[in-house]
Amino acid sequence: MGWKEVAEPYLTRMPTVARPEGHVPFKRKLAWTGFILVVYFFLTNVSLWGLGANASDLFGQFRSLLAGGQGTVLQLGIGPIVTASIVLQLLGGANLLGLDTDDPRDQAIYQGLQKFLVLVMICLTGLPMVFLGGFLPASSSLASSLGIGLVGVKWLIFLQIFVGGILVLYMDEVVSKWGVGSGIGLFIVAGVSQSLVGGLLYWGGLETGNMGVIPYWINVLLGNVSNVTLSSVVFNSTVGLLPILTTVLIYAIVVYAESVRVEIPLSHARVKGARGRFPVKLIYASVLPMILVRALQANIQFLGRILRSWLGEGGMPAWLGVYTTSDTGLQVTSGLFYYLAPIHSPSNWMWWVSGVSGAEPWQVLLRVAIDLTFMVVGGAIFAVFWVETADMGPDATARQIQNSGMQIPGFRQNVGVIEKVMERYIPQVTVIGGALVGFLAVLANMMGTIGSVSGTGLLLTISITYKLYEEIAEEQLMEMHPMMRQMFGGE
């Protein structure tokens, strides 16, 4: 008896959001999407009950990418969902699951397995965070007043985190089935947009220099900012000229790359004169595989900080990592985890401008090279996995074209023939697009962005917003012309 037969009774009974039986009107999709977005913002403002005041954020600069809220019910954000996706993609890529996604039975098993892995990842992330991390301290006075002890309060904190992780899982499913786009993409756009708007408009912090771009430059022109130098005006990681130009440049590059495509002509086999085109975009796999790459890096850094907290300040071997406390929290300054840490801002590598604490220039350059290699190679690999698991590969695309009644002019109306034509473009474009997105993510981090938004977060926000615009236009087109639903794969 295989693992599928053993696990099927349990995995297929996992709670799931029912699919709509027919076509969901566009206005209803927008209503569901808006409702889930409101719920998401509400939950990111619900603080964890029993949490101490000195809690530190382990994920730190990965926070906007993981779309969670520090110290809130959504502490873990989309992290468990993304980590579970990484595990599934690796298992599927190695053909260890033996599941046929075209078989309804295997589809149900796959979806149940994905939910089960998300629950496992919530536990594997949340339990060490609460009990070993030391950055979610519970109040001892609260523990004594309740009579459950410090450990009991920590279990209550973990229970809230666990519930928040489950809510994110099912909110994502609601948006995917009843709304527009995906919940994961929606939550990332919401979190990053908050940081961007704050980075542009936040009016305050004149004494500390912690203000938005527009207030900063107004105060510079009015002479209210002291010690204005060429370095601070150009290289400031949040309000300087370099991050402003980088943000605009990345926006322009992503929008341009989304429009670069190879269009394969199509014609309807039975309707004379009915023609169309199948676009193979430069960023064919979208920017979403970058979430998987950055989440893998976040989990590596998570492991490093957990080990440091577990072993103590002097117990962790120096070759693994040396951590120091700064204004931005706990930072790794040397060792293996330093080289595996991504570049987050110009101050992480421009040693000639502000200096890099505890690192020699060759160490900084080695860290940059590792980060660049990790993102470019990882972006290409995960893009390939994404295309295969999302039914965007040559074989799945050929079947979709065949089922829609379309064919490629000049070729026989055969799935195998269409697949061979698609194989000329899709695999190559997938690898090139994934590597390009990885390079752009590192470049944006190195140059800095408005609001200290990570380069990956900025890329994701621009790309997801662009795709949401396309999906909304497509939905409106299908509302006006119902016969188009079949060509787009709708009901």
Question: Helix/strand/coil (H, E, C) string of the chain?
Answer: CCHHHHHHHHHCCCCCCCCCCCCCCHHHHHHHHHHHHHHHHHHCCCECCCECCCCCCCCHHHHHHHCCCCCECCCCCCHHHHHHHHHHHHHHHCCCCCCCCCCHHHHHHHHHHHHHHHHHHHHHHHHHHHHCCCCCCECHHHHHHHCCHHHHHHHHHHHHHHHHHHHHHHHHHHHHHHCCCCHHHHHHHHHHHHHHHHHHHCCCCCCCCCCCHHHHHHHHHCCCCCCCCHHHHHHCCCCCHHHHHHHHHHHHHHHHHHHCEEEEEEEECCCCCCEEEEEEECCCCCCCHHHHHHHHHHHHHHHHHHHHHHHCCCCCCCCCCEEEEECCEEEEEECHHHHCCCCCCHHHCCCCCCCCCCCCHHHHHHHHHHHHHHHHHHHHHHHHHHHHHCCCCHHHHHHHHHHCCEECCCCCCCHHHHHHHHHCCHHHHHHHHHHHHHHHHHHHHHHCCHHHCCHHHHHHHHHHHHHHHHHHHHHHHHHHCCCHHHHHCCC
Is 399 within a domain?
yes
50 and 165 part of one domain: yes
User: For residue 129, what pLDDT is reported?
Assistant: 81
Domain membership flag for residue 355 = no
CATH number for 464: 1.10.3370.10
Indicate whether 256 belongs to any domain.
Answer: yes
Counting the structural domains of the chain, the total is 2
Single residue among 180, 201, 226 that ends a domain in this structure: 180
Residue-number span of the structural domain to which 171 is assigned: 25-180
Q: Which two tokens stand for residue 220?
A: 């510079």
Inter-CA distances, 396 with 252, 367, 426, Å: 31, 39, 11
Residue 46 covered by a domain = yes
Are 35 and 88 part of one and the same domain? yes
Tens of pLDDT, residue by residue over 410-425, are 777 778 888 888 888 8
- State the pTM of this model: 0.75
Q: What is the pLDDT of residue 54?
A: 61
Distance CA 110, CA 11 (A): 8
Q: Please indicate, yes or no, whether residues 141 and 273 belong to a single structural domain of this protein.
A: no
Residues of the chain with pLDDT under 70: 1-2, 52-62, 64, 93-95, 101-102, 133-147, 204-209, 237, 269-274, 313, 326-329, 352-358, 478-491
Task: With respect to residue 263, please indicate whether it lies within any of the assigned structural domains.
Answer: yes
Do 143 and 256 fall into the same domain?
no
The predicted structure's pLDDT at residue 119? 93
Residue 92 lies in a domain: yes
Tokens of 166: 């489950």
Please tell me whether residues 398 and 483 are part of one structural domain. Answer: yes
Residue 255 tokens, joined: 């929008």
Last residue of a domain, one of 133, 165, 180: 180
* Co-location of 131 and 220 in the same domain: no
Residue 383 sits in the same domain as residue 468: yes
Same domain, 45 and 152: yes
Residue 13 lies in a domain: no
Q: Is residue 223 part of a domain?
A: yes
Q: And the tokens for 300? A: 């590596």
The pLDDT assigned to 377 comes to 93
C-alpha R_g of the chain? 24
Residues 171 and 232 in one domain: no
Same domain, residue pair 463 and 388: yes
Residues 248 and 393 both lie in one domain: yes
Q: What integer pLDDT is reported at residue 122 of this predicted model?
A: 92
Do 274 and 375 fall within a single domain? yes
Domain boundary among 180, 202, 221: 180
